[in-house]
Amino acid sequence: MSTRESASPDNAVQAATQHLLRTLIDSLPDRIYVKDRQSRFLLNNSAHLHALGATSQQDAFGKTDYDFRPVEFAARSHADDQNVMDSGRPLVNYEEPMQLASGETGTLLVSKYPLYGPDGELLGIYGISRDISEQKRLEEDLRQYTCSLEETVELRTQDLHAVNQELTALNQTLEAEILIRQQKESDILLREKQYRATTRLLTNADDNTTDLLKSVLNDAVRLVGAPEGYIGYFEEHGANFVVHHEIGAIADFYRTHLMPAVKLEQGLLSQV
């Protein structure tokens, strides 16, 4: 080729284009490479050379994954290369194991495509891969944290449910005790009112009326099964009772409950 031909505009454009493309792929953080039909490296960008541990294009040219990676990882990559070339179908965004510099196993997100020449002849493959080991680690940490949080929430929910049941039972017990206490207090107040009314009635009545009331009350006591002689005890100790009622309340009680069983003269009932 003459000097004039090598300096033609077409060659200059082609050289500029190749330089631009080379600069572009070398600036990308993703790993870009081209392999021939035997999975030998023909081209690598700077990120892929660094991942392989190669110092230059010449250091990696014509070599395979077996020259840079453990056998189990190299075999997996070689099998994927052959699958793409044999089927003619690309493998897009699949995860491939890799060995990190620390010796731990990481993960690559890989896409591989068949590479054809101008005449349609299969030349090999080209691929692009990205190290997603940190992303996978974060996803696993998040999954474990989520599981731990769900377990904690479940335990706390069970604890709260148990406490709620205990509080509900305690509240029911307290309500029952309050009702019983209120009923007892009502009964005590009713008895005190009745005692007070009877005491006033006996204290303020004249002798004849007192005798008649004693007879009526003794009959009433016998009707309700109280012990004999209760009225006499009441007379002796009535001053010690502390009660709250009017005389009319005991009269109403007598009219309602005792009148069918005790015969009282109209004049006596009116006095009461």
Predicted confidence (pLDDT) per residue in 163-191, tens digit: 888 888 888 888 888 989 888 888 888 87
240 close to 198: Cβ distance less than 8 angstroms: no
Amino acid found at 265: E
pLDDT digits (tens, 9 = 90+) for 29-67: 899 999 999 999 999 999 999 989 898 999 999 999 999
pLDDT (0 to 100) of residue 246: 38
242 close to 234: Cβ distance less than 8 angstroms: no
Q: Rounded distance, CA 195 to CA 103, Å?
A: 98
Strand residues in the chain grouped as ranges (E): 31-36, 41-44, 91-99, 105-116, 122-131
pTM of the model: 0.52
Flag whether pLDDT at 1 surpasses 70: no
Contacts of 272 (CB under 8 A, 6+ apart): 201, 213, 247, 250, 251, 254
CA dihedral 23, 29, 30, 35 (to 10 degrees): 40
Average pLDDT, the chain: 76
Instruction: Name the nearest CA neighbour of 210 among 191, 238, 182.
Output: 238
pLDDT tier at 116, thresholds 50, 70, 90 = very high
- Unique residue bearing structure tokens 């996978």: 136
Is 19 or 61 the better-scoring residue by pLDDT? 61
47 close to 30: Cβ distance less than 8 angstroms: yes
In 10 A of CB 246, how many CB atoms?
12
pLDDT (0 to 100) of residue 100: 73
pLDDT tier at 204, thresholds 50, 70, 90 = low
pLDDT tier at 269, thresholds 50, 70, 90 = very low
* Percent residues over pLDDT 90 in the chain: 29
Residue 62 in tokens: 């014509």
Amino acid found at 90: P
Half-sphere exposure of 118 (CA within 13 A, CB side): 0
